[in-house]
Structure 1
Amino acid sequence: MSEISQSQAVPAPYHRSTADVVKDIIRRGAVFLLLGALFILFTAAQPAFLTVNNLMSVLQAVSVVAIIGAGVTVTLAIGGFDLSVGAVAASSVMAASYAMIVLGLSAWQTVPLVLTFGALVGLVNAFLIVKLKVPDLLATLATMFLLTGLQLIPTAGRSISVGLILPNGTTATGKYDPLFLLIGRSSLFGTVPLPVVLMAVVAVALYVLTEHTRFGRLLFATGGNEIATRLAGGNTARIRTIAYVLSGTLAALGGIIVAARVGRGDVSSGASLLMDSVAASLIGFAVLSLKRPNVLGTTVGAVFVGVLLNGLTMLNAPYYTQDFIKGVVLVGALALTYGFSRART
């Protein structure tokens, strides 16, 4: 009798139904399913969409957004949010242009200078957030406004190009270093644009750092429960500081690529970078249904947005509808991920 009762107490193995399997596939692969649907739709409407040159063009277009979005992802991992990345990138465009055209610096001097500038902005954000206890959103919003105004002062609000007339009436005699322009305009093996290579390097390096190192575990632990992480021996102040320094440096790298691509310091160059990088980071939550910040997901999200915009452009969709369509697709990807997850529970 006791053996029968014991066998009856053992729960029967759970067998997933076909519907559950389908829902799980949709939940984990929502973004990839939508991306595949976009490829089919755009290729059917415009066969030129699915060519190597066009796909490389898409990747080059999203490289800056992916790099900046990776920095945003790191700050999201610690439970923060860096709103200043767009302004840092735009200021870096202006700083790189000013360094070469006005100060006459070379590419070897300009690139480290601009990257240091981005890191310093990250340190300022970290000081406001970690030391002065200013909320992340307020601190980085203040930095954003500060940089947006600061970048206009040296040139009295004018874009920077060869022959720039300075506020004191003199004419700048410098020019863009050809080596610097190669950062945004050259290709590896004549096929893969250098910005795409930089995007891949940043994505792989940050993926390894955040997903396969102790620092990465502490990063997410800080975002999940900062007090518990501190009690476990993690230096949360240093972790937060490193996160914002990384974000600022990557935003500056994005600005360098933009400056090297367009060959001038355009005052409106960073207008959409913040929103696009944030969109890529949020779409990343839905990739493989991880439901947390992750660099791989952010990169996929950036490519997703790039494919969408490229396809809409090739189909001559009105420019004023593109942001709306991006929003619809973002809502759809997140709804598929989180909606099917709730249904399963």
Structure 2
Amino acid sequence: MSNAVEPQTNPTSQGKQKKPFDLFQFLYKYGTIITIVALIIIFYIANPLFLQPSNIINILRSISIVTIIAIGLTISLSVNGFDLSIGSVASLSNAVVISMFIWYSQSTVIAISTAILAALVIGALNAFLIVKVRIPDMLLTLAMMFIVQGIALTYTRGATISENMIMADGNYATGEISNAFGMLGKVPWIIIIMLITVVVVHIFLTYTKHGRYMYVIGGNQEAARLSGIPVKKYKVIAYLLSAFFASIGGIVLASRVMTAEINAGGPYLMDAVAAAFIGLSVLGAGKPNAFGTFVGACLIGILANGLVMLSVPYYAMDIVKGTVFALALALTYYKMK
């Protein structure tokens, strides 16, 4: 009779077995970062001036307005909302703040406050129609995009507002844009404003109970309601903040160009949407977040700047940009089931 003892397996060691490397999970978490690094290497090889400090500052300056506007969209996404009116709100704020200086000779504080107030009115209207009337957010904000764009065009009479412009009565405008306001759109202040916006919203969404409530609402609105979270209140706050940051973006844009162009904020809408959605999965976040949105905006800025430095024809830029965005989204969103 054999007294040999059968080898015993150690359940602890079995539990500590390493999981096989998951390529798709890795790409989901780091796809956007990989794309940015690849673009930097490609553009640097093609033109070593790409990594000059002056060009890096130029990239940061170029993405500042997009990032600020996209941060507002990120907040609306956190409650599972969507705000397509941000570009038009930026245009309206741009027109209002410049007109306060040129047409009415107001101070910097009054000009900025009036522009923000106008945006908050639009945000409150969006919130009311979405939360109370229950119009789907995408459809409502699409309609508001055209309405606000029309309001801005009507307010400016379809003209560019600038110093010494000819008024309707034939006289020249006597108002002037203050030097203090003009500094907001210059380096380093425009970059500082962007970074402060990113940090503040990141802290708000990640480390405060209000931000966590917004994420809970975005994940499961009914569960949030049953747990006692005032869902309607936080959705209203989200749309107000979305309009607020769109307004800040429009104001900074006005300071940068020192005029109010027709539909000035419109071109920023799609870049802001791309930045916010690309940022959803940065570092595996899986949810709207300020840092991810900033990284998404960096991808957009690096791509646009590199294409210009390579003298890519303007009519081909959208093809290249769209292709790279699609690849970045494919890397970050494709996951094995």
When normalised by structure 2's length, the TM-score is 0.93
Shift, 1:314, TM fit: 0.5
Instruction: Say yes or no: does 1:112 pair with 2:107.
Output: no
Cα distance in 1, alignment partners of residues 231 and 292 from structure 2: 25
Specify whether residues 337 and 152 from structure 1 end up closer, same or farther in structure 2 by C-alpha distance, changes over 3 A only: closer
Superposed, 1:219-238 pairs within 5 Å as 219-238=214-233
Corresponding position of 1:41 = 42
Gaps in structure 1 of 5+ consecutive residues: 188-192
CA offsets 1:217-249 (integer angstroms, 9 cap, x no match): 110111121121111111111100110111101
Corresponding position of 1:333 = 328
Q: 1:202 aligned to 185, 197, 205, which one? A: 197
Shift, 1:168, TM fit: 4.3
Cα distance in 2, alignment partners of residues 129 and 22 from structure 1: 40
Corresponding position of 2:293 = 298
Q: 1:214 aligned to 209, 212, 215, which one? A: 209
Specify whether residues 153 and 23 from structure 1 end up closer, same or farther in structure 2 by C-alpha distance, changes over 3 A only: closer
51-60 vs 154-163, which moves further: 154-163
**Residues 92 and 119 in structure 2, CA contact (< 8 A), matched pair in contact too:** no
Aligned partner of residue 80 in structure 2, secondary structure:
coil
Corresponding position of 1:77 = 78
Cα distance in 2, alignment partners of residues 175 and 266 from structure 1: 17
Structure 1 residue identity aligned to 2:293: T
Cα distance in 2, alignment partners of residues 276 and 205 from structure 1: 21
Corresponding position of 2:245 = 250
Superposed, 1:21-170 pairs within 5 Å as 23-170=24-171
CA offsets 1:250-291 (integer angstroms, 9 cap, x no match): 001000111001011111422311101001001102311223
Cα distance in 2, alignment partners of residues 10 and 59 from structure 1: 50
Cα distance in 2, alignment partners of residues 155 and 209 from structure 1: 36
Corresponding position of 1:12 = 14
Shift, 1:59, TM fit: 0.4
Gaps in structure 2 of 5+ consecutive residues: 1-5
Cα distance in 2, alignment partners of residues 161 and 305 from structure 1: 29
**Residues 153 and 263 in structure 2, CA contact (< 8 A), matched pair in contact too:** no
Structure 2 residue identity aligned to 1:119: L
CA offsets 1:58-99 (integer angstroms, 9 cap, x no match): 001100100110100111111110000000011111111111
**Residues 89 and 253 in structure 1, CA contact (< 8 A), matched pair in contact too:** yes
Shift, 1:294, TM fit: 1.1
Structure 1 residue identity aligned to 2:50: F
RMSD value, Cα: 2.1
CA offsets 1:297-318 (integer angstroms, 9 cap, x no match): 0001001100000000000011
Structure 1 residue identity aligned to 2:98: S
Cα distance in 2, alignment partners of residues 300 and 333 from structure 1: 12
Cα distance in 1, alignment partners of residues 268 and 102 from structure 2: 24
272-281 vs 286-295, which moves further: 286-295
Report the count of equivalent residues. Answer: 332
68-77 vs 132-141, which moves further: 132-141
Cα distance in 2, alignment partners of residues 15 and 153 from structure 1: 64
CA offsets 1:159-213 (integer angstroms, 9 cap, x no match): 101122233444321121111101102x3xxxxx211101110101000110111
Shift, 1:330, TM fit: 1.8
Corresponding position of 1:315 = 310
Cα distance in 1, alignment partners of residues 143 and 169 from structure 2: 29
Cα distance in 2, alignment partners of residues 338 and 264 from structure 1: 40
Superposed, 1:155-194 pairs within 5 Å as 155-185=156-186, 187=187, 193-194=188-189
Specify whether residues 214 and 171 from structure 1 end up closer, same or farther in structure 2 by C-alpha distance, changes over 3 A only: same
58-67 vs 107-116, which moves further: 107-116
Cα distance in 2, alignment partners of residues 23 and 157 from structure 1: 50
Q: % of aligned pairs identical?
A: 37
Structure 2 residue identity aligned to 1:263: M
Structure 2 residue identity aligned to 1:298: T
Aligned partner of residue 200 in structure 1, secondary structure:
helix
Corresponding position of 1:279 = 274
When normalised by structure 1's length, the TM-score is 0.91
Specify whether residues 287 and 167 from structure 1 end up closer, same or farther in structure 2 by C-alpha distance, changes over 3 A only: same
Cα distance in 1, alignment partners of residues 176 and 185 from structure 2: 16
